[in-house]
Amino acid sequence: MAVKEKEITVERWERMEDFGSFFPMLRDMLGAIYGSPERGLKIYQERYDAVNYYRNYEAYPGSFLLVAKNEKGEPVGFLYARRKKNHTYLYDVFVKPEYRKRGVARRLVEELERLAGGPIRADTHEGALEAFRRLGFRVLKEYFEDGIRWFLVEKD
């Protein structure tokens, strides 16, 4: 189902047939977090087997891959989450830099809330913490991993 506001459309991908258009955004997101796409992909691949994780996400019940597209139908952001026992865990949310502060992340999170219901949790780095706060998340705990300061946040 697509949700439209202004020029941005948010849709839930049920299958990873469009992985080719998704992977460049994943690279950009990891580059922004870890300093370079190569370093980010290496860490992500070693820790999570990221490429297969996303390609095979449809095998995980309760998974949500939401993609925001511009008026030309080009992906400009994404959100990946999975329903857990007592909450939905938001693994990744990324918006291309030129689309930030235009409500894209808010639209993605609102669509996740509509689809999944219940509390949403995420781990976020310091650079994105303020954005999560603006979306209504609060910090549950803080920790360090791979030289990066992280925060576990939750939205009821």
Of 52, 54, 55, 65, the closest CA to residue 93 belongs to 65
Three-class SS string for the chain?
Answer: CEEEECCEEEEEECCCCCHHHHHHHHHHHHHHHHCCHHHHHHHHHHHHCHHHHHHCHHHCCCEEEEEEECCCCCEEEEEEEEECCCCEEEEEEEECHHHCCCCHHHHHHHHHHHHHCCCEEEEEEHHHHHHHHHCCCEEEEEEEECCEEEEEEEEC
Say which range, 52-66, 91-105, 110-124, 125-139, has the weakest mean pLDDT: 52-66
Which residue's structure tokens are 């999560």?
A: 132
Predicted confidence (pLDDT) per residue in 56-98, tens digit: 566 677 888 899 999 998 888 889 898 999 999 998 888 888 8
Q: What is the pLDDT of residue 35?
A: 84
Q: Residue 4 has what pLDDT?
A: 42
By mean pLDDT, which of 2-6, 20-24, 70-74, 110-114 is the weakest?
2-6
Q: What is the pLDDT of residue 63?
A: 84
What pairs with residue 98 in β-bridges? Answer: none
Assess whether pLDDT exceeds 60 at residue 2.
Answer: no
The CATH classification of domain 2-120, taken from the options 3.40.1350.10, 3.40.1260.10, 2.40.70.10, 3.40.630.30:
3.40.630.30
So where are the chain's domains? Answer: 2-120
Higher pLDDT, 12 or 133: 133
The whole-chain average pLDDT of the chain stands at: 83
Query: Where does the pLDDT of residue 5 fall: very low under 50, low under 70, confident under 90, or very high at 90 and above?
Result: very low
- pTM check: above 0.85: no
Q: Higher confidence at residue 9 or residue 75?
A: 9
Q: In this predicted structure, what is the pLDDT of residue 59? A: 60
Residue 42 confidence class, pLDDT cut points 50, 70, 90: confident
As a whole number of angstroms, the distance between CA 64 and CA 57 comes to 9
